[in-house]
Amino acid sequence: MLCPYMGMNALARELKRGSTEVLILALLEERDRHGYELATLIDQRSNGAISFHAASLYPTLYRMEGKDLIEGRWVEKAGQRRRRYYRITAAGRKTLASQRSVWGTFFDALNRVARIRHA
Amino acid sequence: MDWMSRVHNAFSDAAYHPDDSVVEELTQHAKAVYEAARADGCTPDEADRRVDVLLETWRLEADALRHRSRRLPAVAPPPVTTPTTAVARFAGFAGDLRYAARLLRRQPRHALLTILTLALGIGATTVLFSVTYGVLLKPLPWPNAERLVVLKETRGGSAPRFGDFTNAAYLAWREEASTVESLAAWSQRIVTLTGVGDPERIRITAATASLFPLLGVRPLIGSFFEARNETSPVVVLSEGLWRQRFNADPAVLGRHLDLDGEPYTIVGVLPDAAAYPNRQARAVVPFSVRPAAGNHLSLFSAIGLLRPGVTPAQAVAEGTARGRFAADTGMTTMAIFGSNGPVAIGAQPLREALTTGVRRPLIVLLVAVGLLLATATANVAGLQLARTTARAREMAIRAALGAGGARVTRQLLVESLLLGLLGGAAGISCTLVLHSVLRSVLPADFPRLDSVGVDAAVLAFALGVSVASSVAFGLLPVWHVRRLNLVETLAEDGTAPVGAGVRTRTARARRLIISAQVAIACILLVGASLLGRSFMALLTADRGFDPAAVLSARLAMPAAIYRTEQQRFGILEELLDRLARIPSVTEAAFTSELPLTPGGSTSAFNLTSAVAGGATVRVQASPRIVSPRYFSALRINIVAGRGFSDLDRDSSEPVVVVNQTFARRYLGDAPIGARLPTGAYARPDEQSRAWTVIGVVEDVRYVTATGISQPEMYYSYRQMGGRLPVQTVTVLARTAGAPRAVATALRAAVREADARLVADVVVPLEERLLTSLAQPRLYAVLLGAFASCALVIAAVGLFGVLSYSVSQRTRELAIRAALGAGRGEIVRLVLRQGLSVTLVGIVAGMLASTWLTRVLSTQLYGVTAHDPLTFVLVPLVLLAVGTLACVLPARRAAQLDPQRTLRGG
């Protein structure tokens, strides 16, 4: 979470990490997806604005899996190699809901102070 | 180079090399990036460069690519080397145990199911063992117990109407006994305890001074009374009463308390552990056996201490011989025994006498619960076998690595032992829980309840049963593994040949187990059904009266408080009047005898009998004093003449109503108008009055449904000269609604009739009936519970076997479907397999039942051991449950997709 005494770099890192998790949870809320699909979608939906490197995707996924927010499993489909699909867990849904409200409050505050708008 | 190797290589000099599944996932991502780049129009080199950038960033973050799966890591089996030293052997055992524990943790559902099944079986068996052990086997608490015999007296082969022994025979034997060291006599009664806090109705024992030395018990404090103060008002408290009323105060000796208004001096305290004949008695007062002078005959219970080396048969011979010299008590003997024949004495070892009524039911229930345990163990064996089959490859590999047969056997047995002990521990917990409610479940008249408990012997039994059952269910998988063919098992590719799983030895063993389980369930169901139907028959038996919607209450009016018979009469007359005015009471009556309770009064007289062709016969009959509305309150049918009316008073002709047995035995075809020469309870100056029979009522089986009806005479209390010659009566109120709802009003009416009078045991008559049937009900309920458990266990077992068989036969079933077998045929195939197993079990079970139910025949009432309804219904129930267990696997078989199955999906 955001702490008032964080340095700018720490704040940026925290924001990025927090926002990545929210993004992934939001995407998995729609349906189960594999890693590559997640990477592509984040890139597309933010129009490249969130410069999110694929390098940090898998560490993030594994970390979230360790926290029981998502669950990965190998799925075989006819005529394809097996792929690892991720699905959101009950704990993940709860986190997503609370994060959404935190981010909402944060953007409201930013808006009031700096007139920044979020989509 | 293929993609996978490329990703592997990327991590070759990284700080951490991700595991295979991560590499596989990253490979797919890299490949997708490459393909996307190509699709965007990049050249292969450009696309490769993008991938290389990606791989480089992953390499830098390699440490963060640890897969944090929450799954437990694979369990490595213990080493297979052969230990040479004892330490190594023990270490090997500990390793096996650790391995077994980890295997269980990995399959928690399997472990839980197994442990619960075992806990049920072991728990139920242990509880029943603890009861059987405590009641039948545990040493009796009295030092002289092995030489104690309970004595019974008969005259001309007839037992007395109440009590066991007469003062005449007792005194005749006691004078010059050579086979017994001493005799003791006792009886019990309910008295009102006052003078120490709130008044309370308590049960006390009146015993001769010889009882305590005969049992070999010592007082907790103070002393017991001696022969010389058998007539003094002294009392020995029970330990329970002493703790409850006197806070275990040692200074209690010499203090006084009142029993039925008479003062008694406390001389000692009897330890509860040595209480005889039961712990219900809260105090012991002296009892003096008086000579049978004139017609005075008193009845009590008697117990004897055999001299060392003397057998009960020798004591019987001596007692009978000396009993022949007993004083003649003429008519009284006739009244009590219904015979004036020669005295015969019976002697039964105390342990046997205490448990005579429960020995056979307990053994039957112990066998039943043993069968339940067997069926539970069989289920676990089935589960273990299925698991072993699935682990065949593991076992084969271990054998290939050099594990000897003994090594694998040991490991499998250690696994079973661990399961068995866990099940046993859970079973003991069940036992402890059940023991806390046992006392409220078992009937109050169940013998030796105090000696039932969870002690070292019971725990040892539970441990033994756990080990024995774990070996039993562990042996089957061992036998299976030792037969494994190494090459075949390893060569097998997981797709079983057609028809496999149906014809293998293992499959046959599992089917045999299921059949045996069905047979056991069948036997238990038959037993439970017979006992259940017998209980229902007892409950609904025609007793000659209708206990429904009748509230009963006992009233004690001890002579010490209610000095005159006239006083008692007045109170009761007022009480009946008050009861009749309670709105929901439709009939109010009383009787001098307590229905559904053994004991009572009896009388005898000479009568010129029409049946005997005008000769004089000796009549034995039970007199009862009732109020006029008694017959209508209990709905007792009047078969001839009339019942009492309010017009039958002291001033009118004295009348009597007799029951059918009396009329048939003594009065012949024309009972109405016959004259009985004397009235029971009549005053000495009225003895010569003749009483006219005005009615005959149906026989009433007051105590048990199976009891033989005795001749009975009913007198109206209004023709007793304004007296009530008895001290205890039972008040009956037939109600319009639920009888319990009237209890408060009844208690109030009693208080209003006399402030000192307390209504005791205010219960609906139906409840008294249920209490009197507590034992048969308990046996039926227990056997029913065991049968239900066995049925569920068998059904689960059948379901498991069929599901497993279907999963093993998917290939075969798919081929059948592909070759044109319809769904119906597939379903029928599976059903046939399941039902054939069930049918074999049913046939075996029914055959065994026809033979086994003979041991139940003495416990049955109203049904035979070969009750047709039971023998038709039980197989139907089993068949229905069996079909239900088959339906799910059969449906799954029918829903198989042949294409997918055969493609190997």
The answer to whether residues B634 and B586 touch, using CB atoms and an 8 Å cutoff, is no
Q: What is the DSSP letter of B303?
A: E
pLDDT tops 50 at residue B501: no
Percent of chain B with pLDDT over 70: 89
pLDDT tops 50 at residue B358: yes
Nearest Cα to Cα of residue B217 among B125, B290, B140: B140
pLDDT per residue as tens digits for the range A17-31: 667 788 888 889 888
The rounded radius of gyration (Å) of the Cα atoms in chain A is: 16
Six token digits for residue B355: 């448990």
Which is higher by pLDDT, B244 or B294?
A: B244
> Looking at residues B602-609, what average pLDDT do you find?
76
| pLDDT value of position B198 | 77
Element (H, E) at B588: strand B585-591
pLDDT per residue as tens digits for the range A54-104: 667 888 888 888 888 898 888 877 667 788 899 999 888 988 888 787 777
Confirm or reject contact between A54 and chain B (CB < 8 A).
yes
* Cβ pair B69:A36 closer than 8 A: no
Confirm or reject contact between A29 and chain B (CB < 8 A).
no
> Looking at residues B687-711, what average pLDDT do you find?
79
What own/partner pairs with CB < 8 Å and gap ≥ 24 does B222-230 have? B222/B253, B222/B266, B222/B267, B222/B268, B222/B269, B223/B267, B223/B268, B224/B267, B224/B268, B224/B270, B225/B267, B225/B268, B225/B286, B229/B286, B230/B286, B230/B287, B230/B288
> Looking at residues B184-202, what average pLDDT do you find?
84
Average model confidence (pLDDT) for chain B? 83
pLDDT tops 70 at residue B717: yes
pLDDT per residue as tens digits for the range B387-444: 777 676 677 777 777 666 677 778 788 888 888 899 999 999 988 988 888 877 787 7
CA distance to partner chain A, nearest, from residue B453 (Å) = 48
Element (H, E) at B714: strand B712-716
Nearest Cα to Cα of residue B548 among B711, B764, B395: B764
Task: Return the residue of B nearest to A66 by Cα.
Answer: B68
| pLDDT value of position A5 | 41
> Looking at residues B339-359, what average pLDDT do you find?
86
The answer to whether residues B473 and B121 touch, using CB atoms and an 8 Å cutoff, is no
What own/partner pairs with CB < 8 Å and gap ≥ 24 does B488-495 have? B489/B392, B489/B393, B489/B395, B489/B396, B490/B393, B490/B396, B490/B397, B490/B400, B492/B393, B495/B811, B495/B904
| pLDDT value of position B586 | 92
**In this structure, which amino acid lies at residue B704?**
T
Q: Which of A31-40, A53-62, A109-118, B169-178 shows the lowest mean pLDDT across its residues?
A: A109-118
For chain B, the residues whose C-beta falls within 8 A of a C-beta of chain A are: 21-22, 24-26, 28-29, 32-33, 36, 54, 57-58, 60-61, 64-70
Chain B interface test: which of A51, A84, A89 (most B C-beta within 10 Å): A84
CA distances from B894 to A23, B810, B812 (A): 44, 10, 12
The answer to whether residues B94 and B411 touch, using CB atoms and an 8 Å cutoff, is no
B888 HSE (CA, 13 A, CB side): 13
The answer to whether residues B246 and B178 touch, using CB atoms and an 8 Å cutoff, is no
Phi/psi of residue B339, nearest 5 degrees: -160, 150
Nearest Cα to Cα of residue B361 among B687, B783, B39, B833: B783
| Nearest CB partner across the interface for B64, out of A39, A40, A59 | A59
* Cβ pair A66:B68 closer than 8 A: yes
B870 HSE (CA, 13 A, CB side): 23
- pLDDT bin (cut points 50, 70, 90) of residue A1 is very low
Which is higher by pLDDT, B487 or B517?
A: B517
| pLDDT value of position B500 | 44
> CB A112: neighbour CB atoms within 10 A?
9
Could you give the CA distance from residue B867 to residue B838 in angstroms, rounded to a whole number? 22
| pLDDT value of position A119 | 44
| pLDDT value of position B494 | 43
| pLDDT value of position B81 | 54
Q: How would DSSP label each residue in B646-713?
A: TT--TTS--EEEEEHHHIIIIITT--TT-EES--TT--GGGTT--EEEEEEE-----S-TTSPPPPEE
Residues of A numbered 60-119 whose beta carbons fall under 8 angstroms of chain B's beta carbons: which are they? Answer: 62-63, 65-66, 68, 74, 81, 83-84
pLDDT tops 90 at residue B19: no
pLDDT per residue as tens digits for the range B611-648: 767 777 777 788 888 999 999 999 999 998 998 988 88
CA A28 to chain centre: 9
Q: Which of A89-98, B70-79, B550-559, B805-814 shows the lowest mean pLDDT across its residues?
A: B70-79
Listed in order, strand segments (DSSP E) in B291-388 are 299-306, 343-349
In degrees, rounded to 5, the angle at the alpha carbon of residue B638 between the alpha carbons of residues B632 and B642 is 90
Q: How many residues does the structure list for chain A?
A: 119
**In this structure, which amino acid lies at residue A84?**
R
Which residue carries 């599992």 as its tokens? Answer: B510
Could you give the CA distance from residue B773 to residue A68 in angstroms, rounded to a whole number? 59
> Looking at residues B748-757, what average pLDDT do you find?
85
- pLDDT bin (cut points 50, 70, 90) of residue B150 is very high
| pLDDT value of position B905 | 46
* Cβ pair B28:A65 closer than 8 A: no
| Nearest CB partner across the interface for B65, out of A58, A74, A84 | A58
Phi/psi of residue B236, nearest 5 degrees: -105, 120
ipTM for the assembly: 0.80
pLDDT tops 90 at residue B25: no
pLDDT tops 70 at residue B487: no
pLDDT per residue as tens digits for the range B229-244: 788 889 999 999 999 8
| pLDDT value of position B58 | 84
pLDDT per residue as tens digits for the range B814-872: 778 777 778 888 888 888 888 888 899 999 999 999 888 888 888 788 888 888 999 99
* Cβ pair B60:A55 closer than 8 A: yes
| Nearest CB partner across the interface for A59, out of B21, B24, B65 | B65
What own/partner pairs with CB < 8 Å and gap ≥ 24 does B850-856 have? B852/B523, B852/B527, B853/B526, B853/B527, B853/B530, B855/B360, B855/B364, B856/B364, B856/B527, B856/B530, B856/B531
pLDDT tops 50 at residue B608: yes
B376 HSE (CA, 13 A, CB side): 32
- pLDDT bin (cut points 50, 70, 90) of residue B1 is low
* Cβ pair A63:B33 closer than 8 A: no
| pLDDT value of position B76 | 57
Which is higher by pLDDT, B276 or A4?
A: B276
> Max Cα separation, chain A?
55
| pLDDT value of position B703 | 65
Which is higher by pLDDT, B603 or B865?
A: B865
The answer to whether residues B189 and B558 touch, using CB atoms and an 8 Å cutoff, is no
* Cβ pair A62:B66 closer than 8 A: yes
pLDDT tops 50 at residue B478: yes
CA B357 to chain centre: 14
Percent of chain B with pLDDT over 90: 14
Task: Return the residue of A nearest to B56 by Cα.
Answer: A55
Phi/psi of residue B808, nearest 5 degrees: -75, -25
Could you give the CA distance from residue B587 to residue B546 in angstroms, rounded to a whole number? 13
| pLDDT value of position A18 | 64
> Looking at residues B325-333, what average pLDDT do you find?
74
| Phi-psi region at A24: left, alpha or beta (left = phi > 0; alpha = psi -120 to 50) | alpha
| pLDDT value of position B161 | 74
0.90 exceeded by pTM: no
* Cβ pair A58:B26 closer than 8 A: yes
The answer to whether residues B659 and B622 touch, using CB atoms and an 8 Å cutoff, is no
| Nearest CB partner across the interface for A83, out of B28, B36, B54 | B28
Chain A interface test: which of B2, B23, B28, B55 (most A C-beta within 10 Å): B28
* Cβ pair B25:A59 closer than 8 A: no
